[in-house]
Structure 1
Amino acid sequence: MRRRYGSWSLLDNSLLEKWVLRCGAEVLGLDLLRTLSSGDASALRQAALDHQVIVIRGTPLQPDVLVRRGTLFGELTVHPVFPHLEGYPPIAVIQNYGKKYSANEHWHSDVMLVETPASATLLHALDVPEVGGDTQFANQYLAYEGLSNDMKEKIEDLRGINTGAGTARLAGKDASEAPQAVHPIGKAHPETGRKALFACRAFTTGLEGFSTEESKPTREAIFKEG
Structure 2
Amino acid sequence: MSYETEHVRGVDNSIAPITGVPTFTELLTNPDLATLYTAIRHSPAITAPELVDLSTISKKTVYEYLGKLAQAGLITEIEDESNPKRYEAEKFELQLTIRGMEVSITPELVAVVAHATEYPVIARVRDEHGLVTFALAHDMIKSHSVGDITVRQIASLTDLSHGTTYDLLEALYDIHDLGDDSDPTTYTPDDVVDEDDDLLTER
Please classify the TM superposition score into its range, dividing by the shorter chain length.
under 0.3
Structure with the larger strand share: 1
- TM-score scaled by structure 1? 0.26
- TM-score scaled by structure 2? 0.28
Structure with the larger helix share: 2
